[in-house]
A and B are shown apart, each in its own frame.
Chain A
Amino acid sequence: MQLDMRLSRIIELAPGIREFWLCREDGGELPTYSGGSHVVLSLPLPGGIQRNPYSLLGDPADCNKWRIAVRRQEQSRGGSVWLHDSAQEGQALKVSMPANLFPMARLGRHHVLIAGGIGVTPMLSHARELARLGESFEVHYAHRAPEFGVLADELRTLAGPDLHCYVESRGETIDFSKLLARRPLGTHAYLCGPQGMVEAYHRIASEMGWPDTHVHSERFLAPPPGAPFTVRLAKTGKAIEVRREQSMLEAIESSGVQPPFLCRGGACGQCEMEVLDCDSSLLHNDLFLSQADRDSGRKIMPCVSRVTGGCITVNL
Chain B
Amino acid sequence: MTAAPSIKSQPVYHAIDWDQTGVEHLLFIAADDPATLDRLLANRPPGGLTLVVAAAEAAERLGVAGVTARMVIEQNATSALHALESLLQQATMGLRLYLVGPEDAIWQAAAVATRYGMSSAEIRLYQTGTKARPVFCVHCRAMTRGVRTNLADCSGCGRTLFVRDHFSRRLGAYMGFQIDAEIPGEKPPVETVYP
Contact = CB atoms under 8 A, between A and B. Distances in A.
Interface residues of B, number: 20
Contacts of A210: 93-94
Contacts of B47: 209
Nearest to B119: A213
Top 8 nearest A-B pairs (CB, nearest first) are: A186-B117, A209-B94, A209-B23, A211-B121, A213-B119, A109-B117, A213-B121, A183-B93
A185 B21 contact: no
A8 interface: no
Contacts of A110: 117
Given A107-B117, A109-B117, A206-B21, 13 more contacts: A107-B119, A108-B117, A185-B117, A188-B117, A208-B93, A209-B47, A209-B93, A211-B21, A211-B119, A211-B121, A212-B121, A213-B120, A214-B93
Interface residues on A, range: 20 to 34
* Candidate in A180, A184, A206, A211 with the most chain B CB atoms within 10 angstroms: A211
A42 to B, nearest CB: 38
Interface of B: 21-24, 47, 88, 91-96, 114, 116-122
Interface string A97-110: 00000000001111
A180 B117 CA distance: 16
Contacts, number: 56
Contacts of B23: 208-209
A180 B94 CA distance: 10
Interface of A: 107-110, 180-188, 206, 208-214
Contacts of A107: 114, 117, 119
9 contacts: A110-B117, A185-B92, A185-B116, A185-B118, A206-B21, A209-B22, A209-B24, A209-B95, A210-B93
